[in-house]
Amino acid sequence: MASLPLRNIRHQHALRHGLTYHRQSILHRRTLASSVPPSGSSRSTLRTTSYTVLFAVSAGLFAAYYLDARSAIHRYVLTPVLRYTFDAETGHKIAVKVLRSGLGPRDIVKDDDVLRSEIFGFDVSNPVGLAAGFDKDGEAIDGLFNLGFSWVEVGSVTPKPQPGNPRPRVFHLPADSALINRYGFPSQGAAAVVSRLRARIPTFYDVNEASTGALRSGAVLAVNLGKNKTSPADSSEDFVSGVNTLGPYADVLVVNVSSPNTPGLRGLQNRELLESLLKDVVEARNALEPSPVTSRRPRLVLKVAPDLEEPQLAEMAEVIRNSDIDGVIVSNTTVARPSSLIDQNKAETGGLSGRPLKPYTLRALKTLRAHLPASIPIIGCGGISSGADALEYGRAGASFVQLYTEFGYDGVGTCRRIKDELASLLKREGKTWGDVVNESAARLSWKEPPTPLPAPVREGEATIGKLVEEAKMLLSLVDQLGKKMSGSPES
């Protein structure tokens, strides 16, 4: 009987040991199971990681592609979509806002040395600028410089804010690669533009002899001065106000007397009014203190219309020669409508720009070049859409060129494309842009006529000058005779 409890104790001990072992086995299996993930979960994690990496790489490549102004997506996708999705003015405003945001594309290629140029004493990396009219209120200055332009011209800026003409006031002519606008100087006013120009200036800015309003090397900033619609048509007051207000922040001030969309403005191109206007703006410029941004006073440039006849242009050139104006921009838009226009918008009122403007501008350029000395540079603006066009302007006497309508049609890579085409043409000829400009200026520019020699005196023909000479000779002989008589011994 004593053995029975012992057997029970042993049985209970074995039972407990077995249960403990069983529990440990189960725990061990669970531990192993938790340490090795299921095959489905492994594949899911790998797939997520792969997608993340692929997205990051794709986004990086697309960003690099988008930010390069040369990318085909800008010329063949984004710009056409913008043009055909929105009306002309809305598309224009969207483009300005994108460039203002800092998210716009950039020209990432260094300019070729054959394009180096000099204008008004400024060394610039290339001779291609952006004309006034695109950035009217100075909102996207740096975004535009980032596209490779060496000259960005904001405006037209009027002293007081004004809305411009009623909408619609801008019309695409895609069939003619042209544009008609009747904006009428919509402007936020000089004060708004000045505030933006001031905001661009770095807190710690070191001014030196090479400093420009562009705040970067190899580029210049110009401001186009406009006239308020309510101001007297024959008054220079608005332009003088613009010189005083905007002069300290710009390298160049452009006096715009050639827009066809402000009543009476083109009348300032008449001789008497032009002489008075140029005198007033030159005096205002000369009275400015040297700029705190550039350490110099701004250059003054006159922008003229392409519709003037040759005698009018010759007369204007004479007025310019007799003033202290530094240069001329040829030209603004034209009121002419060439018979070659085929687009349905060709009958709209306003100024025509784009490729059909080129013959008018070249004609005016050649006339002015023949009546202005080489010391007064001419900037060509009108219908330039290729490097060949730019070179043609250079050979006609332009020191610099500007784009406007082609930039709107062709997109942000326009400047780089034209620069590359121009550089290729120059290298083919073994020349630089400076060579072309200097040769054309020497060959085509007006030269001071030589001082005429006095007409010879014909035999038997007496003149006052001849009589004076003879009288002097007689006086000299009398003096000599008197001295001899006074020196002889008395008899």
Phi then psi dihedrals of residue 117, to 5 deg: -145, 170
Neighbours of 467 (CB within 10 A): 10
CA dihedral 266, 270, 273, 276 (to 10 degrees): 110
Report how far residue 287's alpha carbon sits from residue 290's, in angstroms, rounded to the nearest whole number. 9
Residue given tokens 């005196």 in the structure block: 457
Given the residues 156, 231, 259, 399, select the one marked as catalytic: 259
Report the distance separating Cα 145 and Cα 482, nearest Å: 83
Q: Residue 316 in 3-state DSSP?
A: helix
Here the tokens at position 66 are 């988008």
**What's phi and psi for 81, nearest 5 deg?**
-60, -45
Let me know if 259 is a catalytic residue: yes
**Rounded alpha-carbon distances, angstroms, from residue 327 to 182, 276, 448:** 26, 17, 18
Give the DSSP per-residue string, 76-109: IIIHHHHHHHS-HHHHHHHHHHHHHHT-S-B--S
Could you tell me how many helices (H) and strands (E) the chain has, helices first? 16, 13
Rounded-to-integer distance, Cα 231 and Cα 238, Å: 8
Give me the helix-helix angle, 433-444 and 414-429, nearest 10°: 70
Answer for the pair 391, 437: CB distance below 8 angstroms, yes or no.
no
Residue 457: partners with Cβ closer than 8 Å, 6 or more residues away: 463, 466
Residues forming the active site: 259
